[in-house]
Amino acid sequence: MTPRVSWLDRTAETVRTLLTDMAADPNGQFEPCVYETARLVALAPSLPHHRQRVAFLLREQRGDGAWGGPAEYDLVTTLSATEALLTERNRADADPAVASAADRGVEALSRRLADLDALPDTVAVEIMVPALLSEVNAHLARLGRPTLPEPPGTRPELLEAIRDALAQGHPVPEKLWHSLELFGPSVRGARSVRPVDDRLVGCSPAATAAWLGDDVLREGSHPGVAYLLSVQHTNGGVPVAAPLMLFERSWVLSTLLDTGVPLTAPRPVLDELVSSLHAAFGDDGAAGGDGLPVDVDDTATGLLALALLGSPRSPDVLRGFDRGDHFFCFPEERTPSTTANAHTVQALGSTLALPASSTVLDDTQRRWCAERLETVVGWLVDQQHPDGSWTDKWHASPYYATVCCAVALARHGGPAAADAVRRAVDWVLATEQDGGRWGTWEPTREETAYAVRLLLRASEVTDERIAPAAERGARTLLRHWTDERPHPPLWHDKDVYTPTRIIRVEMLAALYAAHTDPRTAPLLADATLPVGTGVG
């Protein structure tokens, strides 16, 4: 008979392993992305392991011919993969399966574009779709086939204006470096682009390959080649961005600490993590990864993690993102972010809660933090949907946005936010599926973790329905604790992607909350795991 122990008894070992692995990982744990891998197939055939990347695309194609996430989230993915395979089919040594997969991709695109109501709110989607679609249509025209229609919401005129400017030698704005692969041959070797350590551009494998060009990749000696090979997974795929050290570490640490999970890792590991967070900050804030511009989301979450770690920084760096009633992620952004403002609320609130002996705030800074906190709390409350949820541009699921906003408001919003938190709890309770599972398109362990954590972290809400629902959700998470299948991609970048370690921590935090909350702990007393079950 297999011996069994309680989940809580294994928490210390799980956290120690997770943090030790994260401190030794310079890139972060992110699942391979079809969009990004397909751009390498199209742009970098001379990069070693090209056949593995093609094979990855072939394996990842769905039965309906598409690639990628749910609903409209398969559009960008399928455009990128189809264009790459249409390019590959013209190469002399192409796999015979490539042509069939490309044809099925074209059919899937035709169906998606006919049914499309709106573009997904992913990064640069308004220029990414026309860039990829124009390439697909050029292939189809050469094959004598009907071309595909341009969907509403795109900005092909903006794409052409950017391409024309770059062709005339104008500098490439930094905010475009992450998507450099969209702008054609004029970006190759562009002097206005500053690679990080002469290795990578825009925190992106595809952008780096576009800047280097296939001739440089064929020669093989440029440091960028080593970067591209270092981020490729054994299955041939590459992530949508790498390295994303600050993003992963600040999200993991702030989630664990805010939920009360003890950081049971050796002191050198914790020192490395704290040091790396501080090192990511400059005068203007922090970026999620090397080669990305600073943004308020990563800045605020980094400040939050450091405050909770007892090594706070001044919040003055947030002033540069202040737009009056809320904080913006980037100048001239298309849509504001509710979750970035929720993280800003947490950063301001946690800084204000520091001991009086802390030297991080003087009286002027304290007044500014308190004023901005009150204002942004009001803005967040105003962004709540009538059903009690929030949505956001950085994630496909309202459960992510709702847990971010509701937890921030429950902790730092005061009486002004009490009704909003109550409505969020009601929404989570009303949307439970099939005995303790939550999800937007189908139940997922990530969204179930958000639901459980929200129910238990909204501590001022008293409702007899909360404990049974949280218990059911926790038991669902326990059943899936050793599930090693890739999680559906729900996070927004150029395409939807999966931050594996962050999702694992969300599950861990939700289970820790359920096993330590006096409302649910007695209900889970019989919940056990086989001995040997670790972080997975």
Query: Percentages helix, strand, coil for the chain, rounded to the nearest 5?
Result: 55, 5, 40
Looking at the structure, do residues 221 and 352 belong to the same domain, yes or no? no
pLDDT tens, the chain, 536 aa long:
344 567 778 899 999 999 999 999 999 999 999 999 999 999 999 999 999 999 999 999 999 999 998 999 999 999 999 999 999 999 988 888 999 999 999 999 999 999 999 999 999 999 999 999 999 999 999 999 999 999 999 999 999 999 999 999 899 888 899 999 999 999 999 999 999 999 999 999 999 999 999 999 999 999 999 999 999 999 999 999 999 999 999 999 999 999 999 999 999 999 999 999 999 999 999 999 999 999 999 999 999 999 999 999 999 999 999 999 999 998 878 889 999 999 999 999 999 999 877 888 889 999 999 999 999 999 999 999 999 999 999 999 999 999 999 999 999 999 999 999 999 999 999 999 988 999 999 999 999 999 999 999 887 778 899 999 999 999 999 999 888 888 999 999 999 999 999 999 999 999 999 999 999 999 998 877 654 444 33
3-state secondary structure of 149: coil
Looking at the structure, do residues 71 and 205 belong to the same domain, yes or no? yes
Looking at the structure, do residues 212 and 248 belong to the same domain, yes or no? no
Q: Distance between CA 301 and CA 174 in Å, rounded?
A: 22
Looking at the structure, do residues 428 and 334 belong to the same domain, yes or no? yes
3-state secondary structure of 392: strand
Looking at the structure, do residues 264 and 206 belong to the same domain, yes or no? no
Taking alpha carbons only, the member of 401, 414, 411, 298 closest to residue 350 is 411
Could you tell me if residue 236 is inside a domain? no
Looking at the structure, do residues 137 and 161 belong to the same domain, yes or no? yes
Looking at the structure, do residues 201 and 277 belong to the same domain, yes or no? no
Looking at the structure, do residues 59 and 134 belong to the same domain, yes or no? yes
**End of a domain among 178, 199, 230?**
230
Could you tell me if residue 25 is inside a domain? no
Could you tell me if residue 221 is inside a domain? yes
**End of a domain among 183, 208, 230?**
230
Looking at the structure, do residues 183 and 261 belong to the same domain, yes or no? no
Q: Distance between CA 404 and CA 283 in Å, rounded?
A: 26
Domain of residue 79, CATH code: 1.50.10.160
Tally helices (H) and strands (E) across the chain: 20, 6
Could you tell me if residue 29 is inside a domain? no
Could you tell me if residue 15 is inside a domain? no
**End of a domain among 230, 265, 292?**
230
Q: What is the total count of domains within the chain?
A: 2
DSSP string for residues in 393-417: TTBS-HHHHHHHHHHHHHHH-GGGG
Could you tell me if residue 19 is inside a domain? no
Looking at the structure, do residues 220 and 302 belong to the same domain, yes or no? no
Could you tell me if residue 21 is inside a domain? no
Looking at the structure, do residues 183 and 313 belong to the same domain, yes or no? no
Contact 32, 233 (CB under 8 A): yes
Contact 374, 367 (CB under 8 A): no
Looking at the structure, do residues 298 and 402 belong to the same domain, yes or no? yes
Contact 302, 281 (CB under 8 A): yes
Domain of residue 473, CATH code: 1.50.10.20
Could you tell me if residue 5 is inside a domain? no
**DSSP character for 47?**
S
Residue 128, domain extent: 34-230
pTM across the whole model: 0.95
Contact 461, 421 (CB under 8 A): yes
